[in-house]
Amino acid sequence: MDEQLCYAYAVVGSSAAVELTGVQGVAGAPVTLVRSGPVAAAVSAVPRERFSETALKAGLEDLEWLEATARAHHSVIEALAARATVLPLRLATVYLDETSVRQMLGEREADLAALLDRLADQVEWGVKVYAEVPPPSAPSAPPPAADTGAASEADAGRAYLRRRRHQRQEREDAWRTAEEAVRRTELQARGLAVERTRHRPQQGGLAQGVPGENVANDAYLVPRRLSEEFRTRMLHAADDLPGVRVDVTGPWAPYSFTAPLAPDAQEGAGQR
């Protein structure tokens, strides 16, 4: 029985000058190209016992396995992106064999070739805006005043209301500043970025260890030749806005701009 499956990382043009010598994929396997007409897929062999449909369901819940697989997956994509236009495939895209990969490429040949043409010489930049927003204060009763009469009680009540108004004002000011920072990043992208994808702001575990609240999480598609200007503009977009930070990451392969590949271009091992 065949003990190997075929893990697919990304699609590139068949004629791309891609050198894969020394590039290792998941489980340290060498990466090769499967070609079909004008397109090709970067693939490697993986053990069936770890990448069958059933095994993948368990593996995706194993954080150590998931981290190692994701690191290998993305390292292959970045190696390809340094040499050619690349269409990243979803993590753990697995086929029964190279014949199944070739069949997928043949069925989607026109769409894949058109997408490669559209994304040629474009890279993805991530732009996240963080704001130091004071946490909402829990409602509470005004502190009890000393037993010195109604006037003192009224003074204590007014002081309490002033504090509450001040807290609300601080939060409203912080959010207005954050909104201005987001608006500025959008303005700075004009004339440079050709597309933008908005992702959900990171919260909870995804944002642990990062100061501030993530209020915008965008991806921009930028011509490679304009990358440094784009990065510089974004890094300085909020220079004079207190309590706001803009983080810029990239350049990356265009992960956020290959939606036409999903879901029907990616078939699991149990489906092909």
Q: Which of 12, 195, 9, 7 is nearest to 86 (CA)?
A: 12
Q: What is the pTM of this model?
A: 0.79
Asked if residue 207 has pLDDT above 60, the reply is no
Q: What percent of the chain has pLDDT over 90?
A: 63
Q: Which fold has domain 4-119+256-271?
A: Alpha-Beta Plaits (3.30.70)
- What is the amino acid identity at position 37? G
Q: What is the DSSP letter of 257?
A: G
Query: Using one digit for the tens of pLDDT, what is the confidence trace for 132-190?
Result: 876 665 555 555 555 555 667 666 666 666 666 656 666 677 889 999 999 999 999 99
* SS3 of residue 162 by DSSP: helix
Asked if residue 71 has pLDDT above 90, the reply is yes
Angle separating helix axes 98-107 and 109-118, nearest 10 degrees: 70
Determine the Cα–Cα distance for residues 113 and 216; give it in Å rounded to an integer.
32
Please tell me the predicted confidence (pLDDT) of residue 165.
65
Domain boundaries, the chain: 4-119+256-271, 123-138+174-253
Please tell me the predicted confidence (pLDDT) of residue 113.
96
Neighbours of 85 (CB within 10 A): 22
* Res. 260 pLDDT band, cuts 50 70 90: low
Distances in Å between the Cα of 111 and the Cα atoms of 8, 45, 170 are: 18, 26, 50
First to last CA, the chain: 17
* SS3 of residue 167 by DSSP: helix
Please tell me the predicted confidence (pLDDT) of residue 17.
77
Determine the Cα–Cα distance for residues 129 and 248; give it in Å rounded to an integer.
9
Lowest mean pLDDT among 65-69, 89-93, 168-172: 168-172
Determine the Cα–Cα distance for residues 110 and 36; give it in Å rounded to an integer.
11
Please tell me the predicted confidence (pLDDT) of residue 150.
61
- What is the amino acid identity at position 100? S
**What are the respective helix, strand and coil percentages of the chain, to the nearest 5?**
45, 25, 30
Mean pLDDT of 108-132: 95
Q: Which fold has domain 123-138+174-253?
A: Alpha-Beta Plaits (3.30.70)
Asked if residue 269 has pLDDT above 50, the reply is no
User: Do 123-138+174-253 and 4-119+256-271 fall under one CATH topology?
Assistant: yes
Mean pLDDT of 230-244: 95
